[in-house]
Amino acid sequence: MAPLPAAAELEPTEQRIVAWVEGHTDQALVLLEQVVNINSGTMNFEGVRRVGELFAEEFGALGFETEWLDGAPFERAGHLVARRQGAADGDRTHVLLIGHLDTVFEPDSPFQRFERLGASEASGPGTTDMKGGDVVMLFALRALEAEGQLDKMDVTVILTGDEERSGRPLDAAREVLVDAARVAHVAIGFEDGDGDPETAVIARRGSGSWRLKVVGKPAHSSQIFQPEVGAGAIYEAARILTEFREGLASEEDLTFNPGVILGGTDVEFDPVEARGSAFGKNNVIAEHAVVTGDLRAMSPEQYERATRKMLEIVAEHPPHTKAELTFSPSYPPMAATEGNRRLLALYDQASRDLGHGPVEPVNPRNAGAADVSFAAGLVDMALDGIGLMGKGGHTLGETADLETMPMQIERAAILLLRLARASGRQ
């Protein structure tokens, strides 16, 4: 894109956009409650599609052409894609806006409903991660349309249906996002980042998953640790996990979390549902153990170092045990490029001009992986973490700070408006 102009105080069109947002925040909160009350755990395909249908109606009312991309090829519900081509003459900025429809809370979770906790807070599955961000995105576009500014840019919106549990093969699950990024100039994600409105995301760690399978020698518990028996599968799994922690502790910003562990005489684990069962007795040495987890790294090089060290640790198994460690790469890292910094600077200036204060880059250690990473390396500039703010994501305590709703909509709308005014490829 052409160099971005220095921003001044809000001009009349921007002031009217702010007034529109202030007059429509209640509508945004009504929509938020509506979508949160539809369970859309990733594996609840019907629920994901229902949320997609609702947003398709909203984007269709804004003049977007919407398409539901069926997720059968990657074993998920699918994605919502919405496109709107601007009508302004000359080169236009093409922005790719990214969100997701699914949450981590499946239908069997006790956390199912939107609940107001007071004038400024509400709890509910997906309030911040990230149905709140989807609402921020939608209302920022509505504010631009109300002032006749949406025609000054080309907009592609992709709301994935499997961000929390990516479909497989991953290439198929993210093909539409990658293809959209190849023709866009800017990619903006509406996740909540670290939940702090004073930060936004210009860099993210990549993530992958791993599975450890351990087999030991079954025997009477009275014989554990004997030379001819060994320690069994559970002790060996514990050794491996301990050495993961000790051997990789010096890697800055690297994390490796075991999320599920099962052990006993018999173990059954369903990797799709991420759940299983185990049978064993106190007087029997465990024959099997399974552990699954994730691995997050700042760069492909760091990811490679970590996996190599983990494989070395697993290979050092003691007698009468054996173990296998496999990896499934998932989200790529998002580098803190100069383009990303320029986009953050524009967002920061918009926030200051709106009276909402400065915005700094978040520490990548404080934000998880997100879909924007698939697009970040293909566009001139990328930014994420500008959705509805709150706390407790991925837990039963997920809570949205409702006071940030109008602020985040205003920031996003002014950012998009100023990007449109900077249209023109060099």
Q: Quick one: pLDDT band at residue 366, thresholds 50, 70, 90?
A: confident
pLDDT tens, position by position, 338-358: 999 999 999 999 999 999 999
Provide the 8-state DSSP code for 62: T
Q: Answer for the pair 67, 53: CB distance below 8 angstroms, yes or no.
A: no
The residue with tokens 């404080």 is 366
* Residue 124 and residue 53 share a domain: yes
* Domain enclosing residue 99, as ranges: 12-204+334-421
CATH number at residue 307: 3.30.70.360
Starting at the edge strand that comes first in sequence, how are the strands of the sheet with 381-383 ordered?
65-70, 78-84, 153-160, 93-100, 186-189, 381-383
Q: Quick one: pLDDT band at residue 59, thresholds 50, 70, 90?
A: very high
* Residue 185 and residue 60 share a domain: yes
Q: Is there a domain that residue 2 lies in?
A: no
- Judge whether residue 324 has pLDDT over 50: yes
Q: Is there a domain that residue 298 lies in?
A: yes
* Residue 81 and residue 122 share a domain: yes
* Residue 317 and residue 350 share a domain: no
pLDDT tens, position by position, 9-49: 899 999 999 999 999 999 999 999 999 999 999 999 999 99
* Residue 198 and residue 110 share a domain: yes
* Residue 136 and residue 32 share a domain: yes
Q: Is there a domain that residue 3 lies in?
A: no
Domain C-terminal end among 286, 302, 331? 331
- Which of 7 and 82 is assigned the larger pLDDT? 82
Q: Quick one: pLDDT band at residue 167, thresholds 50, 70, 90?
A: very high
H-helix or E-strand spanning residue 252: none
* Residue 191 and residue 99 share a domain: yes
Q: Quick one: pLDDT band at residue 426, thresholds 50, 70, 90?
A: very low
Average pLDDT over residues 70-97: 94
Average pLDDT over residues 303-324: 96
Q: Report helix, strand or coil for 306.
A: helix
Q: Is there a domain that residue 7 lies in?
A: no
- When the pLDDT of each residue in the chain is averaged and rounded to a whole number, the result is 95
- Judge whether residue 220 has pLDDT over 60: yes
Domain C-terminal end among 331, 346, 380? 331
Q: Is there a domain that residue 378 lies in?
A: yes
- Judge whether residue 138 has pLDDT over 70: yes
Provide the pLDDT for residue 8. 53
Q: Quick one: pLDDT band at residue 7, thresholds 50, 70, 90?
A: very low
Q: Quick one: pLDDT band at residue 268, thresholds 50, 70, 90?
A: very high
Number of domains observed in the structure of the chain:
2
Which of 366, 30, 421, 342 has its CA nearest to residue 191? 366
